[in-house]
Amino acid sequence: MPDLTLCECFARDGLQHETEFVPTAQKVALIDRFARAGFARVEATSYSNPQVVPQFADASDVLGALPRVDGVYYKGTCANLRAVERALDDLEAGIGANEVSLLISASEAHSQRNLKQSRADQWKRIEAMAAAAQGRFRLIGTISVAFGCPFEGVVDETSVLADVERFASLGVHHVTLGDTIGVATQAGTQRLFGAMLNAFPDVDAIAHFHDTRGTGIVNYLAALEAGVRHFDVAFGGVGGHPAKVKYGGGVTGNVCTEDFVNVLETMGVATGIDLAAMMDASLVCEATLGRTLASRVARTGLNPMLARASTHTRVA
Amino acid sequence: MPDLTLCECFARDGLQHETEFVPTAQKVALIDRFARAGFARVEATSYSNPQVVPQFADASDVLGALPRVDGVYYKGTCANLRAVERALDDLEAGIGANEVSLLISASEAHSQRNLKQSRADQWKRIEAMAAAAQGRFRLIGTISVAFGCPFEGVVDETSVLADVERFASLGVHHVTLGDTIGVATQAGTQRLFGAMLNAFPDVDAIAHFHDTRGTGIVNYLAALEAGVRHFDVAFGGVGGHPAKVKYGGGVTGNVCTEDFVNVLETMGVATGIDLAAMMDASLVCEATLGRTLASRVARTGLNPMLARASTHTRVA
């Protein structure tokens, strides 16, 4: 049994801001590769408006063609009720995701600029989405800029905890705290996650940190120490915050899968990831985007002290 | 007073493997810029054989032209007795470094391949160098591959501690443990530095870790927690292990100055570095090498939550 659960975000968060369309068959092969390599959660696609995010115009096609690995959660990101309805249609058609996500900004200013909604209005949308999705999907609540906002600065931790409670009251028992702009500290990470885990023992905490300033792994290890067992990562560190948003946008994205898995396994933390399959996937991800990505382990190889050979085989 | 001492390694470790010669005047301006930005230690040059490392053919010219900031240690790297003699000549001429370094490999195999000497022979050389340099320079002992060797794997911690003791017996009271190939863990870092600080309270411990696999800052923070107060860094993460050496060579080098200072200051650890001057120096370092370097903070800017403005002024 792995000690924690990693969600591989390359195929959604990673591709979100890629301007070149990745062919559907390539997306399907990637997502399936991630699941077979041992990722228990995989971001599969986003039910975005194809006019706004053409990259995910093939959301239903991807899910329709995607083989499933038992026990793996495939996430469809949903920005609004229309997206949840599309996810439900796919579910009816037998091709659905089994996890959908709901997004709130921790700060009013970020909500206005990023979601074009007040927090109050966004919560109303989330309530409608949660009501429609409840019982059909595993629901993931995400609170962005939970550790600091590019517009408002410090974010009130009490308000973040109230958001967690509100998600829980809607039946959302997996809640993500996002360090969207890479400003969290070890101490702040441990304090906020510690308070969350303490106050809401029936809610699983997920960390989704951006490695904007090279603090991703530092803070993930702090979160692990605080009891967090779910972490979002992406091959090559792709994805993350939109370039158009001030402070740290678009430059460095998610925490690199390869680098985080390497450090965990070297520490003796079991990730459940087949390391050889991971390194193969790393190559495929770079080939998919046609450029060198940010992972250092992709360049240098796994820690040679890692005695453990590749033993994981999820799929017979 | 800063809480710790940073040594800026760009001008020596960083330039060591750069094939294009950086003009002497540029080196001098860089080193002086580092000292004025608040680095209490700066690697200035290496008394290498100019045939082998043409980059440092201008060692004495650099030191001759370099203004000095009070209290700053300028290091000249010395590979052998001939190098120490050159450093002494410069000292006689009134243009010397005030710190020299002496290097041992923690493993026999690494010593043979990297230094072309057995450990026993290298210790003999170090004894002669220390005898010649004693009382003239501050001496820095460095133990490379202290956390793991690319050829032998695990390195015996008792042997590393014996090396520290041997340096101390030669009057070397600053000893660096190097994670030369980026394989250290948080636990191993704390265990070895903890044992060193405990056993040799009169020796200052210096950490020189390579960020080969994205673990540099993670392990530096672990070392800080273990009581280490001296850290080697380089702008843009340049330098590090030679490309020709197996496992992680040449790809990612030292821990990025910008990223480490950012995380420390955000944590409330006083680095003594003028942050505005650091960001300027970061730009100049990238311009010097004519390419984008590895620092994330160089791309994204300092943590906007860092309230502290630039207040440091070492030089009136």
State ipTM: 0.91
Reply yes or no on whether the pLDDT at A104 is more than 70. yes
B14 touches chain A (CB under 8 A): no
- Given an 8 Å threshold on Cβ–Cβ distance, is A300 in contact with B256? no
Reply yes or no on whether the pLDDT at A247 is more than 50. no
Which residues from chain B sit within 8 angstroms of residue A259, using beta carbons? 213-215
Question: What pLDDT, on the 0 to 100 scale, is given for residue B299?
Answer: 87
Q: DSSP class of residue B146?
A: T
**Tens-digit pLDDT profile for residues B217-260:** 999 999 999 999 999 999 999 988 655 434 434 456 899 999 99
Given B148, B183, B297, which is nearest A214 (Cβ)?
A: B297
Question: What pLDDT, on the 0 to 100 scale, is given for residue A251?
Answer: 55
* Cα nearest neighbour of A189 on chain B: B267
Interface test with B, best of A181, A189, A300 (most B CBs within 10 A): A300
Given B183, B299, B302, which is nearest A252 (Cβ)?
A: B299
Give the whole-number percent of chain B exceeding pLDDT 90: 86
What are the residue ranges spanned by the domains of chain B?
5-300
Phi-psi region of A196 (alpha: psi -120 to 50; beta: other; left: phi over 0): alpha
Given A150, A218, A267, which is nearest B187 (Cβ)?
A: A267
Q: Higher model confidence: residue A102 or residue B243?
A: A102
Q: DSSP class of residue B13?
A: I
Work out the average pLDDT over B2-10. Answer: 97
Place of tokens 């672990």: B222
**Continuous segment of H or E residues that includes residue B41:** strand B41-46
- Given an 8 Å threshold on Cβ–Cβ distance, is A247 in contact with B213? no
Confidence band for B22, pLDDT divided at 50, 70 and 90: very high
User: Three-state SS for B176?
Assistant: strand
Count Cβ atoms below 10 Å from residue A194 Cβ, excluding itself. Answer: 17
- Given an 8 Å threshold on Cβ–Cβ distance, is B304 in contact with A153? yes
- Given an 8 Å threshold on Cβ–Cβ distance, is B213 in contact with A181? no
- The tokens for A307 are 């005695």
CA distances from A137 to A42, A143, A181, B221, B270 (A): 14, 19, 29, 40, 48
Q: How distant is the Cα of A240 from the closest Cα of chain B, in angstroms?
A: 13
- Given an 8 Å threshold on Cβ–Cβ distance, is B185 in contact with A266? yes
Question: What pLDDT, on the 0 to 100 scale, is given for residue A17?
Answer: 86
Question: What pLDDT, on the 0 to 100 scale, is given for residue B310?
Answer: 42
Length reported for chain B: 316
- Given an 8 Å threshold on Cβ–Cβ distance, is A213 in contact with B296? yes
Of A210-214, A250-254, B94-98, minimum mean pLDDT range: A250-254
**Tens-digit pLDDT profile for residues A169-208:** 999 999 999 999 999 999 999 999 999 999 999 999 999 9
CA distances from A83 to A90, A93, A136, A200, B173 (A): 11, 15, 14, 28, 65
User: Three-state SS for A234?
Assistant: strand
Interface test with B, best of A209, A303, A306, A308 (most B CBs within 10 A): A303
Work out the average pLDDT over A157-178. Answer: 98
β-bridge partners, B73: B41
* Cα nearest neighbour of B154 on chain A: A305
Which residues from chain B sit within 8 angstroms of residue A263, using beta carbons? 185, 213-215, 218
Give the span between the Cα atoms of B174 and B168, in whole angstroms.
8
Question: What pLDDT, on the 0 to 100 scale, is given for residue B208?
Answer: 97
B240 touches chain A (CB under 8 A): no
Question: What pLDDT, on the 0 to 100 scale, is given for residue A292?
Answer: 87
Work out the average pLDDT over B10-29. Answer: 95
Interface test with B, best of A179, A185, A245, A296 (most B CBs within 10 A): A296
Give the span between the Cα atoms of A283 and A235, in whole angstroms.
9
Please give the angle made by the CA atoms of A155, A144 and A267, to the nearest 5 degrees: 100
Residue A242 near residue A213, CB atoms below 8 Å: no
- Given an 8 Å threshold on Cβ–Cβ distance, is B247 in contact with A297? no
Mean pLDDT of chain A: 92
One-letter amino acid identity for B60?
S
Q: Higher model confidence: residue B88 or residue A240?
A: B88
Positions of E strands within chain A? 5-8, 41-46, 73-77, 99-105, 138-144, 174-179, 204-209, 230-233
B49 touches chain A (CB under 8 A): no
Residue A174 near residue A203, CB atoms below 8 Å: yes
- Given an 8 Å threshold on Cβ–Cβ distance, is B218 in contact with A215? no
Reply yes or no on whether the pLDDT at A314 is more than 70. no
Q: What is the CA radius of gyration of chain A?
A: 18
* Cα nearest neighbour of B297 on chain A: A213
- Given an 8 Å threshold on Cβ–Cβ distance, is A301 in contact with B252? no
Mean pLDDT of chain B: 92
Question: What pLDDT, on the 0 to 100 scale, is given for residue B306?
Answer: 81
**Tens-digit pLDDT profile for residues B110-145:** 999 988 999 999 999 999 999 999 999 999 999 999
Residue A126 near residue A102, CB atoms below 8 Å: yes
Confidence band for B292, pLDDT divided at 50, 70 and 90: confident
Closest by CA position to B301, among listed B254, B269, B272, B266: B266
- Given an 8 Å threshold on Cβ–Cβ distance, is A299 in contact with B182? no
Give the span between the Cα atoms of B316 and B310, in whole angstroms.
15
- Given an 8 Å threshold on Cβ–Cβ distance, is A297 in contact with B215? no
* Cβ-proximal residues to A279 (8 Å cutoff; 6+ apart), any chain: A258, A298, A301, A302
Reply yes or no on whether the pLDDT at B312 is more than 70. no
Give the span between the Cα atoms of B8 and A204, in whole angstroms.
42
Interface test with B, best of A260, A292, A305 (most B CBs within 10 A): A305
Which residues from chain A sit within 8 angstroms of residue B293, using beta carbons? none
Confidence band for A306, pLDDT divided at 50, 70 and 90: confident
Confidence band for B31, pLDDT divided at 50, 70 and 90: very high
Q: How distant is the Cα of A264 from the closest Cα of chain B, in angstroms?
A: 9
Reply yes or no on whether the pLDDT at B38 is more than 90. yes
* Cα nearest neighbour of B260 on chain A: A214
Confidence band for A140, pLDDT divided at 50, 70 and 90: very high
Q: Note which residues in 116-155 of chain B have CB less than 8 A from chain A.
A: 148, 150, 153-154
Give the span between the Cα atoms of A144 and B175, in whole angstroms.
44
Residue B96 near residue B73, CB atoms below 8 Å: no
Which residues from chain B sit within 8 angstroms of residue A150, using beta carbons? 304
Question: What pLDDT, on the 0 to 100 scale, is given for residue A227?
Answer: 98
DSSP conformation letters of A200-261: -TTSEEEEEEB-TTS-HHHHHHHHHHTT--EEEEBGGG---S-TTSTTTTTSS-BPBHHHHH
Q: DSSP class of residue B210?
A: B
Question: What pLDDT, on the 0 to 100 scale, is given for residue B242?
Answer: 52
Which residues from chain B sit within 8 angstroms of residue A187, using beta carbons? 267
In CATH terms, B5-300 corresponds, of 3.20.20.70, 3.20.20.140, 3.30.70.2190, 3.40.50.150, to 3.20.20.70
Half-sphere exposure of B201 (CA within 13 A, CB side): 1
Given A218, A248, A304, which is nearest B218 (Cβ)?
A: A218
Question: What pLDDT, on the 0 to 100 scale, is given for residue B316?
Answer: 29
Interface test with A, best of B218, B224, B235, B246 (most A CBs within 10 A): B218
Residue A80 near residue A129, CB atoms below 8 Å: yes
Q: What is the pTM of this model?
A: 0.93
CB pairs under 8 A between A and B: 114
Question: What pLDDT, on the 0 to 100 scale, is given for residue A252?
Answer: 64
